[in-house]
Amino acid sequence: MPPTGHAGFAHPLAHVDWAQVQAELQGLDVITRLPQRRQLSKDFFWYSPVLSQYLADCVADLVVRVGTEEDVRQVAQVVARHRLPLTVRAGGTGNYGQCVPLNGGIVMDVSGLARVLDIQPGRVRAQAGARMYDIEMAARETGQGLRMWPSTWHVASIGGFISGGFGGIGSMRNGILRDPGNMLRARVMTVEKEPRIIELVGDEIQQVQHAFGTNGVILDVEVALNPHVEWLHTTVLFPTYRGALDFGCAGSTPDLDLFLLSTVEARFAPYYTSMGDKFPPDRHAVFTMVAPGSMPALRELAARMGGEISVCGTEQELIDAGLPPAYECAYNHTTLQALKVDRSWTYLQVAYAQPFDPAVVQRHLDIFGDDVLQHQDFARAGGEFGTFGILLVRWKGIEHQYEVIREIESQGGCQIFNPHVVTIEEGGMKAIDDQQIEFKKRSDPMGLMNPGKTRGWRPEMARLD
């Protein structure tokens, strides 16, 4: 169910001497003006009408911008000394309120930790605040590229992607973040009076991955690279949405080298204003990023299945033609395109039972009518091909939203990742991740980081000294 009230914090802030706190933050970029604090206490939670209301008044008491590890250490010490809530942010492109301080305290903006530290064959190490796009551009200079990134990669940071992300552009080829070989190393600073640095390697990183910044300050991460590919951004049109989905299923094969494969139904077309006649309102679209060597096979598959290719070119060729790259037509960019035109929409995220049955989506088209628009992303997870949905849902109040959720989850194997709640568990994990809570006991023993974002942490777990 939707959130009903802000989570309590074990250490009341009413008697905090904020003048003393500021004095102990001397030398750092401390922001006290309310308009800036409001701005830096928000992310993209406005996609959800529920969170827009619930989080509207959540504002940090102070915002601190940091640029070095010593800056981070100073903030961590002050936070621990005064037992203040700490929320870490960078680009703030998350949709769940991950970087919104539910209980005030300090927001630490790590956007200044933005250096790409090292690039080697098959790997790149970057500070947490480095933008994904900047990392990719640096990698391309060495003939390499990231395995995956969010559709908001021009703004999103790698630390935010690790702590809040699941997968994204590139998951069709390389799986989700948690899959072996994608995340290689992370350095995390603890929040204590004497902060320590913990280094995590390989699967150990899952202790902080998708933990919503609740259990340690990520300083830098190392992720895997692949050889760079000049992907062809391709749009394939179909007269029926079932045809588009069948093409998505047929394209989910190792015989095609795809970085992206997403289907978007025709009713989205009016929101894709820059596509023009390349995505007309009487056709359903499949957006792909395909390796040049697989383009002949993709053309043959499209022709055999009744599809028509309306766009095909490199990213730069599309930009020069005034068209969006394929990744801006997929994942949660579909929601953003609609909200730019009509703010009466919101969204839901769905994981479908595998093997994916397009008839489930067809049933939802019949049941929901104009209240729900369909969009599916095809990707690998755990080595297997899977299908996920980011559905556009007409906002008719929270009860209607949960009616839609119940109907979808009544279909065998469909699971909703609910974007109208703020905790990790309610949003999709469903169960408490014990290894993340155990790591929090080591990295945030006072329970100061992003309080209220995980149900696994209880006040009595906090160490008082």
Q: For 398-450, write each residue's pLDDT tens digit.
A: 999 999 999 999 987 899 999 999 999 887 666 889 999 999 999 999 999 99
Predicted local confidence at residue 8, as pLDDT:
57
Predicted local confidence at residue 271, as pLDDT:
97
Question: How much of the chain exceeds pLDDT 70, in percent?
Answer: 97
Whether pLDDT at 5 is above 50: no
Predicted local confidence at residue 4, as pLDDT:
45
Dist. CA 290–CA 257, nearest whole Å = 6
Give every CB contact of residue 152 below 8 A, 6+ residues apart in sequence.
91, 93, 332, 333
Give every CB contact of residue 252 below 8 A, 6+ residues apart in sequence.
172, 261, 378, 385, 387
Give the CB-side neighbour count of residue 139, counting CA atoms within 13 A.
26
Q: Pick from 175, 84, 70, 88: which is nearest to 128 by CA?
A: 88
Whether pLDDT at 200 is above 80: yes
Predicted local confidence at residue 7, as pLDDT:
57
* Run of H or E residues at 302: helix 295-304
- Arithmetic mean of pLDDT, 59-65: 98
Q: For 212-244, write each residue's pLDDT tens digit.
A: 999 999 999 999 999 999 999 999 999 999 999
Q: For 9-46, write each residue's pLDDT tens digit.
A: 767 798 999 999 999 999 999 999 999 999 999 999 99
DSSP string, 63-124: EEE--SHHHHHHHHHHHHHHT--EEEESS---SS-TTS-TT-SEEEE-TT---EEEEETTEE
pLDDT, the chain, mean: 95
Predicted local confidence at residue 358, as pLDDT:
97
Tokens of 384: 């297997």
Q: For 347-361, write each residue's pLDDT tens digit.
A: 999 999 999 999 999
Dist. CA 87–CA 191, nearest whole Å = 11
Give the CB-side neighbour count of residue 462, counting CA atoms within 13 A.
18
Amino acid at site 161: F
Q: Pick from 44, 42, 21: which is nearest to 32 by CA?
A: 21
DSSP tag of 428: I
Whether pLDDT at 463 is above 90: no
Tokens of 280: 């007309």
- Arithmetic mean of pLDDT, 74-88: 97
Higher local confidence (pLDDT), 225 or 96:
225
Residue pair 266/337 in contact (Cβ under 8 Å)? The answer is no
- Arithmetic mean of pLDDT, 83-94: 95
Dist. CA 222–CA 172, nearest whole Å = 21
Question: How much of the chain exceeds pLDDT 90, in percent?
Answer: 92
Dist. CA 110–CA 89, nearest whole Å = 6
Residue pair 105/87 in contact (Cβ under 8 Å)? The answer is yes
- Arithmetic mean of pLDDT, 370-385: 97
Predicted local confidence at residue 6, as pLDDT:
52
Total-model pTM = 0.95
